[in-house]
Amino acid sequence: MMRTRDLSYWLFLAPVLLALSMVVIIPLVFGIYYSFTNWNGIEVGSFVGLKNYLAILDDKEFLDSMWFTVKFSVVSIILINFFGLSLALIVTSKIKSNKFLRTIFFMPNLIGGLILGFIWQFIFIKVFAGIGSVFGIQSLEGWLSTTQTGFWGLVILMSWQMSGYIMVIYIAYLEGVPGELIEAAEIDGASPFQRLRYIIFPLVAPAFTVSMFLTLSNTFKLYDQNLSLTGGGPYNSTQMVAMEIFKTAFTESEMAYAQAKAVIFFVIVAVISLTQVYINKKREVEM
Amino acid sequence: MRKHKWPIEILGIILGIIWLSPFYLMIVNSFKTKREMFEDTLKLPAGFNFDNYIEAFTELNFLQTFMNSVLITVVSVLVIIVFSSMAAYALSRNKSKISSFIFFLFVAAMLIPFQSVMIPLVTIFGKLEMLNSAGIIFMYLGFGASLSIFLYHGTLNGIPKSLDEAATIDGANRFQIFWHIIFPMLKPITVTVAILNTIWIWNDYLLPSLVINQEGMETIPLKMFFFFGEYTKQWHLALAGLTIAIIPVIIAYFFAQREIIKGISEGAVK
């Protein structure tokens, strides 16, 4: 046992405690304090109460980015989980190419979001236009130049990237489904759809929760892909919350105001994560 | 005896091709001249023309940039492994209220999005004149410690304390016990911690863009904007540059894919 009055206990903890305090705790506490002042990054200035927070309620750009983020997250969560589970079912169905396919589907996750965004910018702008003009499909031209195509561009990029990640999680649960159970159902004459609906889905239910929240926290906080794919354009219409906060702080230099937005962002993310923890705990108890 | 799996096999392969197509299009077009690219992005290039690669490599100052990325990633990951494992050890060998509180603090810190602390962080470290490589490594320790401590803590709880006690009787001190007896037993989880942190730090863009965005210090993600000017896009060079940036990652993936996929799923499910 180590005792809390032992020097070694504190020596073992000191480096990470120092780093966490200086990098996370102090900036968070200062940040919350600054959000109630007219801090400009250099001087704290005076206390302004809720002024920054009230201003956010009328900030159309921020509210638009919030709405865009919510829409984007909802659509992405559905598609990523649909593809993730489908890919997992495909690669666990004892096909010959399964190892190779897993490698391919997972690959985009190792590459930075910024780079992936640039690659897809090329696909959407140049390749889509090329295909469009060859086959005379008008709707493939001018991608990323409208809000609609920017939205779907981001959704496609994130589905392509994250499905392989979510696939890995579903695989972990699918491999826990006993083979005898499936075979017994097969012998009893259950169709593939019935096996999926009545045996596999209930057994991988915990994976749904894990995957849903992982996708949600990733899409809600998205920044790199947003920056490199659309840059928020056209006219900030595809700008997500993380980017909007960054811009308020470092382009418009409204530090205290940006920090108030950052605090709201923190509260939303924390509520999402705590809900997940709560649901997981509840399920563990039931099991 | 079993039914043919070929419809699923074919579906899988079609999806595999779709998944690979962005990389294929990037590589094929990276060999085209500016003119060829303008004419058609779908057909194969006239030949393997490495001019774009040579130009992109030089303009990105790639050797220097690559070494910057390697240095920051390797040092940060080592620092995270050393200090997180030590901290997790102390927390697992002392079950007081103080330990539970500290552990809770680290877990709770995982809920805080980077954007919420980013602005004060940059101003504080700016005042301390720590917006440099040393500063960013320290920041990576602060942001990376939580998950790493969490993962180490889980494993350490499963290692019997009688091992420590036996070593204490033999006269070993805490540091010796940890580094000679306990740390070697943590190897599998250390691999997971190393992989998760390497992927994160290697690909991170936002933090380095705020902390070390000076000439000659840039990591690979920071340099990726080079070919994307506000009004002009040099696609032929950009695609070569993106390909160069991806190659090291793909090589690493093919050597360690089992560990990587395992590490990621462990980190995610917990």
Q: How far apart are CA B74 and CA A91, in angstroms?
A: 34
Residue B269 has pLDDT above 70, yes or no: no
The answer to whether the beta carbons of residues A37 and A45 sit under 8 Å apart is yes
The answer to whether B24 faces chain A, any CB pair under 8 Å, is: no
Mean pLDDT score, A47-76: 95
Q: What is the mean pLDDT of residues B253-258?
A: 88
The model's pLDDT over B134-143, given as tens digits with 9 standing for 90+, comes to 999 999 999 9
Tell me the chain B residues in contact with residue A249 when contact means C-beta distances shorter than 8 Å.
118-119
Please work out, in degrees rounded to the nearest 5, the angle formed at the alpha carbon of residue A21 by the alpha carbons of A18 and A25.
Answer: 170
Output the CA–CA distances (angstroms, integers) from residue A23 to A30, B84, B197, in the order listed.
11, 15, 17
The Cα of B260 is separated from the nearest Cα of chain A by a number of Å equal to: 9
Helices first, then strands: H and E counts in chain A? 15, 0
Cβ separation of B19 and A98 shorter than 8 Å?
no
pLDDT band at B3 (very low <50, low <70, confident <90, very high): low
Banded pLDDT at A122 (limits 50, 70, 90): very high
In chain A, residues 62-81 whose CB comes closer than 8 Å to chain B: none
A4-16: pLDDT as tens digits: 888 899 999 999 9
End-to-end CA distance of chain B: give it in Å, rounded: 39
- Report, as an integer, the average pLDDT of A195-216: 85
Whichever domain contains B115, its CATH number is: 1.10.3720.10
| Domain A61-179+205-286 belongs in CATH node 3.20.20.140 | no
Task: Write out chain A residues lying below 8 Å of B12, CB-based.
Answer: 90-91, 95, 97-98, 101
Average pLDDT over residues B231-250: 89
The torsion of the CA quartet B60, B219, B207, B249, rounded to 10 degrees, works out to: 110
- The residue among B159, B155, B125 whose CA lies nearest residue B142 is B125
In one-letter notation, the amino acid at residue B254 is F
Q: Which residues of A touch B91 (CB under 8 A)?
A: 13
Confidence of residue B230 (pLDDT cuts 50, 70, 90): low
Using the predicted structure, report yes or no on whether residue B1 has a pLDDT greater than 50.
no
d(CA B270, CA A180): 28
- Evaluate if residue B227 carries a pLDDT over 90: no
If one counts every other C-beta atom within 10 angstroms of the C-beta of residue A93, the result is 15
Distance separating alpha carbons of residues B205 and B66, to the nearest angstrom: 14
Q: How far is CA B270 from the centre of its chain?
A: 18
| Per-residue pLDDT reduced to its tens digit, B101-120 | 999 999 999 989 999 999 99
- Separation CA B139–CA A266 (nearest Å): 19
Give me the percent of chain A exceeding a pLDDT of 90.
Answer: 63
Q: For chain B, what is the domain count?
A: 1
| Whole-angstrom distance, CA of residue A134 vs CA of residue A195 | 44
In the beta sheet, which residues pair with residue A37?
A: A47
Written as six digits, the tokens of A134 are 């060859």
Instruction: Look at A110 and B8 and tell me if their CB atoms are within 8 Å.
Output: no
**How far is it, in rounded angstroms, from Cα B72 to Cα B200?**
12
Domains of chain A, residue spans: 61-179+205-286
More confident residue, B142 or A272: B142
Give the number of A-B residue pairs with CB atoms closer than 8 Å.
Answer: 260
CB contact under 8 A, B228 and A2: no
Tokens of A87: 């890919």
Q: What is the pLDDT of residues A141-164, one digit of tens each?
A: 889 999 999 999 999 999 999 999
Please state, rounded to an integer, the average pLDDT across all residues of chain A: 91
Mean pLDDT throughout B147-176? Answer: 90
**In B, residues 110-169, which contact A (CB 8 Å cutoff)?**
110-121, 123-124, 138-139, 141-143, 145-146, 149, 161
- Could A110 and B260 be called an inter-chain contact, meaning their C-beta atoms sit closer than 8 Å? yes
Residue B2 DSSP label: P
Q: B248 and A138 in contact (C-beta within 8 Å)?
A: no
Q: B173 Cβ partners below 8 Å, 6+ apart?
A: A8
Indicate whether A37 pLDDT > 90. Answer: yes
**Matching residue, tokens 């889980």:** B154
Tell me, yes or no, if B270 comes closer than 8 A to chain A by beta carbon.
no
* Cβ atoms < 10 Å from Cβ of B267: 19
Burial code of B74-90, b = ≥16 C-beta within 10 A, e = fewer? ebbbebbbebbbbbbbb
Q: Are B200 and B144 in contact (CB under 8 A)?
A: yes
- pLDDT for B2: 54
Residue B17 lies in a domain: no
Average pLDDT of chain B, as a whole number: 90
Residues A12 and B105: beta-carbon distance below 8 Å: no
Structure tokens at B137: 């490594």
Task: Quote the CA–CA distance of A130 and A46 in Å, as a whole number.
Answer: 57
Percent residues over pLDDT 90 in chain B: 69
Tell me if B161 and A169 make a contact (CB, 8 A cut-off).
no
Evaluate whether B70 touches B135 at the Cβ level (below 8 Å). no
Mean pLDDT of A182-206: 83
**Percent of chain B whose predicted confidence (pLDDT) is above 70:** 96
DSSP string, A102-148: HHHHHGGGGS-HHHHHHHHHHIIIIIHHHHHHHHT-GGGTTTTSSHH
- In this prediction, residue A44 carries a pLDDT of 81
| Tokens representing residue B199 in the block | 């992927």
The model's pTM: 0.92
Which of the 8 DSSP states describes residue A37?
A: B
Please give the structure tokens belonging to residue A162: 């994250």
List the 43-82 stretch of B: residues with Cβ below 8 A of A: none
pLDDT, residue A178, reads 81
Mean pLDDT across B70-96? 96
pLDDT tens-digit readout, B198-208: 999 999 999 99
Across the interface, whether the CB atoms of B239 and A168 are under 8 A apart is answered no
Complex ipTM, two decimals?
0.91
Burial class (CB in 10 A: 0-12, 13-18, 19+), B46: exposed
Q: Name the residue among A24, A258, A270 with its Cβ closest to that of B142.
A: A24
Residue A75 CA: distances (Å) to CA of A114, A269, B14, B62, B121: 21, 18, 24, 38, 33
Q: How confident is the model at residue B258 (pLDDT cuts 50, 70, 90)?
A: confident
If 0-12 CB within 10 Å is exposed, 13-18 middle and 19+ buried, where does residue A169 land?
buried
Residue of B nearest to A243 (CA): B115
Q: What is the predicted pLDDT for the residue at A183?
A: 83
Residue-number span of the structural domain to which B248 is assigned? 57-269
| Of A102, A116, A101, A106, residue with least CA distance to A157 | A116
Confirm or reject contact between B8 and chain A (CB < 8 A). yes
Of residues A40 and A53, more confidence is placed in: A53
Bond into A206 cis (ω within 30): no
One-letter amino acid at A44 equals V
How crowded is the C-beta side of A95, counted as CA atoms within 13 Å?
22
Q: Is A117 on the interface with B (CB under 8 A)?
A: no
pLDDT, average across residues B229-238: 80
Q: What is the pLDDT of residue B270?
A: 60
pLDDT at site A113: 95
A chain contacts of residue B124, beta-carbon cutoff 8 Å: 22, 26-27, 30
Please report the pLDDT score of residue A277 as a whole number: 78
3-state secondary structure of B233: strand
